[in-house]
A and B are shown apart, each in its own frame.
Chain A
Amino acid sequence: MSTEAAIEPPPAGGHVPSIATSTLLRSTREAALKTPSIRWCDDPQVGSSSSVLVDSRETRKMNTYQAVRDAMSIALNKDETAVVFGEDVAFGGVFRCTMGLAEEFGRERVFNTPLTEQGIAGFGIGLAAMGQTAIAEIQFSDYIYPAFDQLVNEAAKLRYRSGGQYNVGGLTIRTPTMAVGHGGLYHSQSPEGFFLGAAGLKIVIPRSPIQAKGLLLASIRDPNPVIFMEPKILYRSAIEQVPLDDYELPLSQAEILTSGSDLTILTYGTPVYTCETAIHHLSQPPPSLDALIPQSVRSASVELIDLRTILPWDVDTVVKSVQKTGRLLIVHEAGRTGGVAGEIATEIQKRCFLRLEAPVHRVTGWDTPVALQYEKFYIPDAVRVLDGIIKALTY
């Protein structure tokens, strides 16, 4: 895809201004059906994108929560063992991701649990250990820590410790994540980095409705326990034409969103759009920033990559990109120390040492909690990403 189309400057006060107008979002049926690496699950030729089958497919405009709901509806329809549960999911969920599912599939399959995150995770592990499909919800990723023991000691290790005799591949934990503008300490966190050391788990973060549906269906059907983190600010703001059929997008595969030759930006979730805005400002700075952007970097060609799967992550795509560009900037909302960027930077430094023309740069949240009134200065917004780009390019 290309970002050449004009992007509007951010509205006053908007901290993720480009979502509504992003060219990364697929607003036409044709574009939606051509989503890279899409795999139609009702296609007799697995992985085929033959035009006959594609031409007859329909799409519908959906935001992210509707796409998540659509994925769960397909999972429940096609798999009798699948159940959806968590706090407040029966009435539709606090973010509406499970709207109407209880009415459609019955309270035996879509039900509320008592307010206990460790219980929700443990209950899901039990279901999955019996070969059933458990789609659990943790209401905010900030509240996943009571389930940390169940996820890290139990779900992640169950296949290994039982010599492969048992597994909890049927378990998927969905949880809203990242900042939302006013979430403060406990409705804003990005805890993905805490799970990096939990070998046996997969962690997936989508950036859009099409991605959410395809990656969620792939997560539900993956033979491993998956934590699926949904950037909550995108639930309503990111809107795409989404294919109505059953399709998946591959896990552990990053996606190159814009191709470039001077700098690689690697990110995931909400900051995908921040980076898009920053790249735009680089070549066409708004008047207020004009004096601050050196002429020498304005024509730089930036490669933007959405990592999508955090664990196990797609090292090949990132290495290939950095071998080409020689520069890497990693952007995530979570704090810097112990964050995902540190892990990736180390691997890239090892693999691309001779090609690197600048240190790997990290633009991340600060090593503080996400403070309510300070959020705009906490998150890696467009100007911070832009500054990172300039530093990486001018090193």
Chain B
Amino acid sequence: MFRHLGRRAASCTARKRTYSEFKHGNLPHSHSPITTDLEFFNSVRPDGQQIPTYRVLDSVGQPIDGSTVPEIDESFARKLYETMMLLPTLDTLLYSVQRQGKISFYHGEEATVVGSAAALSPTDEVLGQYREMGVLLWRGFDLDSIMSQCLGNKEDKATKGRQMPVHFGSPQHHFHTISSPLATQIPQAAGVGYALKRDPERRGKDCAVCYFGEGAASEGDFHAGMLLASTIPSPTLFIVRNNGFAISTPSSEQYYGDGIAARGPGYGIDTIRVDGNDILAVLGAVREARRRCVQQGRAVLVESMTYRVGHHSTSDDSFAYRARQEVEDRKKVDNPVSRLRLFLESRKWWSDDEETELKARLKSEILTAFKRAENLSRWELKELFSDVYGGDEPWNLREQREELGELLKKYGTVWEPWKKEREKFSGSGDEFLS
């Protein structure tokens, strides 16, 4: 009887037909039909099952029965694979060579990030959480820029060395600068979507794309963002990476409902769940999600089911809260990279030799970029005080900058912690001494 309740997207005629089952009419100012059944319902599926997961490839990279392989040609498919491969290679290398132990990317979500990036227009405005470097790589943000941000050197245009590693940003690549507070970008994305809708140059062409994890979806800003983008119709594409963990918290302790996707219909948002380790499923689903988003000027939600194979960050040992074997199993059984590789090989688009060559090339490129970045000095020390405000520098900042200058003149050559640190900056902080 409540079949229609889970189907906001159903056509009007279908809805009318279903409504005719009710004999007592509707509530005034509402489509809600009157019923005499005292019946409760939960989640969005009338059959009690969870929202299904859209998939194209099986675990050995073959299209499953009835699936539609999204349109891709060989060079596009190879770019997908090479970009995916770049992520774990970067991770492994940086993890082992960097000294401060502060840099971390991720394993296991390559398909979600790269597959969705490939489905977007390069001018869609992306607001990420911090595991979406693959979007930047897909858009041509180069390895030198990646390294510069992670090491905070003078080529770090994204943050001028002010933010922690992996907090990228590039207006040129339409990628808004990442910040640590979780979910804050979600209502902001609704605003970005609305701005695009109001811009005559971009209306109907671009959308805002907002990435976040299933843990971030527990923040109040998730609720605010979904609500705003649906109520104030804005072309905003929400992509949630449900990787099963928020640091140590399993998703079973994050929510009791049917994941994040089940919440979409509650906000009146077209929603789909997709196999996040199947890059072709992600590509196909996000292409269609984006098409709806831009065409209708409305929000769309994609929940991508994946698994965080890596630790949360370098300051986290995930084996403290989950079995090592579980992770190893997931790497083998459901590996997003090998699934695409097997698909490519079945089309003769990839070979063992190419695999060997790619691995060597990526490793060498990354190492070269790392070594180069490592030897670059930081920005000038005075950048500590700039960009707090636009326009005139307020007196308090000017005075505090001068105060640090006086202290540096006095102690900068004798106080060891400063003496050593100064040398890392362009000009060694001498601009303060003049």
A residues in contact (CB < 8 Å) with B? 81, 83, 85, 108, 111, 113-114, 116, 118-119, 121-132, 134, 146, 149-150, 153-154, 157-167, 169, 199-200, 202, 222-224, 252, 312, 315-316
Contact = CB atoms under 8 A, between A and B. Distances in A.
B395 A312 contact: yes
Contact of B231 (A114, A153, A165): A114
A203 B196 CA distance: 28
A108 B198 contact: yes
Interface residues of B, number: 51
B404 to A, nearest CB: 15
A321 to B, nearest CB: 16
Contacts of A132: 195, 198-199
Nearest to B195: A130
B192 A149 contact: no
Q: Is the interface of A mostly helix, strand, loop or mixed?
A: mixed
A199 B386 CA distance: 11
Contacts of B163: 161
8 contacts: A114-B227, A116-B228, A122-B184, A126-B193, A161-B159, A162-B158, A163-B387, A165-B158
A150 B184 contact: yes
B224 A119 contact: yes
Contacts of B224: 114, 116, 118-119, 122
Interface of B: 125, 127, 156-160, 162-163, 167, 169-171, 176-177, 179, 181, 184, 186-196, 198-199, 208, 220-221, 223-225, 227-228, 231-232, 386-391, 394-397
Contact of A122 (B159, B188, B232, B386): B188
Contact of A149 (B184, B189, B191): B184
Contacts of B181: 149, 153-154
Contacts of A164: 160, 386-387
Contacts of A81: 195, 198
Contact of B387 (A114, A116, A124, A160): A160
Contacts of A149: 181, 184, 221
A126 B195 contact: yes
A115 to B, nearest CB: 9
A167 B390 contact: yes
A126 B388 CA distance: 19
Given A161-B179, A165-B157, A224 B198 contact: no
A315 B208 contact: no
A211 to B, nearest CB: 21
Contacts of B220: 118, 146
A162 B159 contact: yes
A312 B228 contact: no
Nearest to A315: B395
Contacts of B162: 160-161, 163
A108 B197 CA distance: 10
A119 B225 contact: yes
Contact of B187 (A108, A122, A160): A122
A67 B225 CA distance: 32
A130 B199 contact: yes
B169 A162 contact: yes
Contacts of A224: 389-391
B192 A119 contact: no
A154 B188 contact: yes
A162 B163 CA distance: 8
B428 to A, nearest CB: 21
B198 A83 contact: yes
A160 B388 contact: yes
Q: Which of A116, A125, A316 has the most CB of B within 10 A?
A: A116
Q: Which of A108, A127, A146, A316 has the most CB of B within 10 A?
A: A127
A200 B394 CA distance: 10
Given A163-B160, A316-B395, 16 more contacts: A113-B228, A114-B227, A116-B227, A122-B221, A122-B225, A123-B190, A123-B232, A126-B195, A127-B192, A129-B188, A150-B187, A154-B181, A158-B177, A165-B171, A166-B171, A312-B389
Given A118-B220, A169-B390, A130 B125 contact: yes
Contacts of A315: 395-396
